[in-house]
Structure 1
Amino acid sequence: MTTKNVNLVSHPLVQHKLSLMREKDRSIKGFRELLNEIGMLLCYEVTRDLPLEMVDIETPLQPMKAPQIAGKKLTFAPILRAGVGFLDGMLALVPSARVAHIGLYRDPETLQAVEYYFKAPHDLSDRTVVMMDPMLATGNSACAAASLLKARGARDIRFVCLLAAPEGIAHFQKEHSDVPIWTAAVDERLNDHGYILPGLGDAGDRMFGTK
């Protein structure tokens, strides 16, 4: 498995919050709040190398040149439904970002991703797109989402997830080697039903209380 484009976020706060989320008795409220907090922390990491430009501003004392993010604003692209758990935390840091929604569900028999909704800004080619989903398991949904974004013109895509399985990373990198991954952990493997082990269960079910 190639790990060249896999960025493991080892910050102690991220790792601590992830451990709390893994606990099977964590409440829906607690799980949702932790996912939101980790989304904010991961946003710091995925945006660390955004380009800056110097602009003229005035402080209360004098004019100066100050750094601001260059180019058009970011686009956040959560994969529905669990990906929206990251969204509020990221928007708290970048409130001017645009949002693309990617509706996919996993067929329980084939484990393949099925599209049911896609809505994105028209100028993705000019923007950095941060695609997000808590779990990179089989990689089918992430691959399908990246393909949809590219079909709409996206050229600079970054993928953020909470947990990844080696199988999912390998699949995603085979299909989209140009898209770097940020994750809080790479777990052991997938089980026969395509769930990450040891994992934390189904993130969407735990977030919305539908299990």
Structure 2
Amino acid sequence: MKVINFAEHNSVINNYIAELRDINIQKNRAWFRQNLRRIGHAMAYEVSRTLQYSRKMVQTPLAQAEANTIDDRIVIGTVLRAGLALHEGFLDVFNEADSAFVSAYRKEGRKEDIEVCVEYIASPCLDGCTFMLVDPMLATGGSFNLAYQAYLTKGTPAHLHICAVIGCEEGVERLKQLFPSDDVTLWIAAIDPMLNDVAYIVPGLGDAGDLCYGDKLSE
């Protein structure tokens, strides 16, 4: 798996990450969601540079013009609910893409006992597509892996792009083991050093789903 870590280079994404982490700015849910969307815009642009293109003709009011446009059939998949704002950012860029959704959540507990559950999936056929699996947080890697395994029941993509906002070294290493092929790319805006005892990324930013949409009742 190839890893593209945006934090290794100076770009406006670093500003968005700083605001996502800031406990004072986090009080504004709309701005938190907007920063996730803006990271989606920037990240999707970078992913677009790796896709397949061909020259096509476009009719203008005056004459025909040539343009190199994307040939890939793109499907953007996300994990409910935290991934929705990032998903919207990708859809703003790839406006003709199809969408896929899976419900994957973890039962809270110690890192050693974390259980990830998948209960719902809605997806088009994924055979031969370029699949972008987007979710803000890469902690243990369990949610990404189970979500992708669920999506595979709907077909096998030709190319896989895993797109996250903040991850930890442990989760990145696990994904490298799960997806050893060079045909898979992880795009990530920041990689933090560790997980705490309840598998939250440190320093991280907290619970992205709660910060986007409000607190939830735990079963």
Work out whether the TM-score is over 0.5: yes
Structure 2 distance, partners of 1:209, 1:11, is: 32
Query: What SS does the corresponding residue of 2:50 show, helix, strand or coil?
Result: coil
Match for residue 115 of structure 1?
A: 118
Paired amino acid for 1:62: A
- Flag structure 1 segments of 5+ consecutive residues without an equivalent: none
Choose from 151, 165, 168 the match for 1:165: 168
Paired amino acid for 1:77: G
Structural mapping, 1:68-147, within 5 Å: 68-72=69-73, 74-109=74-109, 110-122=113-125, 124-147=126-149
Q: Give, in angstroms, the shift of residue 11 of structure 1.
A: 4.7
Structure 2 distance, partners of 1:176, 1:101, is: 21
Q: Is the 8 A contact 2:76 2:132 kept in 1?
A: yes
Q: Give, in angstroms, the shift of residue 181 of structure 1.
A: 0.5
Match for residue 7 of structure 1?
A: 4
Query: What SS does the corresponding residue of 1:100 show, helix, strand or coil?
Result: strand
> Percent identity among equivalent residues?
31
Q: Is the 8 A contact 2:79 2:103 kept in 1?
A: yes
Q: Is the 8 A contact 1:143 1:176 kept in 2?
A: no
Structural mapping, 1:24-63, within 5 Å: 24-26=23-25, 27-63=28-64
Structural mapping, 1:168-207, within 5 Å: 168-178=171-181, 179-207=184-212
- Taking structure 1 as the reference length, the TM-score comes to 0.91
Structure 2 distance, partners of 1:40, 1:90, is: 6
Aligned length: 206
Q: Which runs of 4+ in 1 moved over 4 A?
A: none
- Flag structure 2 segments of 5+ consecutive residues without an equivalent: none
Instruction: Please say which of residues 131-140 and 148-157 is displaced more in the overlay.
Output: 148-157
Q: Is the 8 A contact 2:51 2:72 kept in 1?
A: no
Q: Give, in angstroms, the shift of residue 45 of structure 1.
A: 1.5
Instruction: Please say which of residues 103-112 and 183-192 is displaced more in the overlay.
Output: 103-112
Over the aligned positions, Cα root-mean-square deviation in angstroms equals: 1.6
Query: What SS does the corresponding residue of 1:186 show, helix, strand or coil?
Result: strand
**Superimposed CA distance per residue, residues 159-190 of structure 1 (whole angstroms, 9 cap, x where no aligned partner):** 10001101101111211223310000111111
Instruction: Please say which of residues 56-65 and 133-142 is displaced more in the overlay.
Output: 56-65
Structure 1 distance, partners of 2:10, 2:116, is: 31
The alignment status of 1:20 with 2:19, answered yes or no, reads yes
- Taking structure 2 as the reference length, the TM-score comes to 0.88
Q: Give, in angstroms, the shift of residue 149 of structure 1.
A: 2.3
Q: Is the 8 A contact 1:83 1:134 kept in 2?
A: yes
Q: Is the 8 A contact 1:112 1:141 kept in 2?
A: no
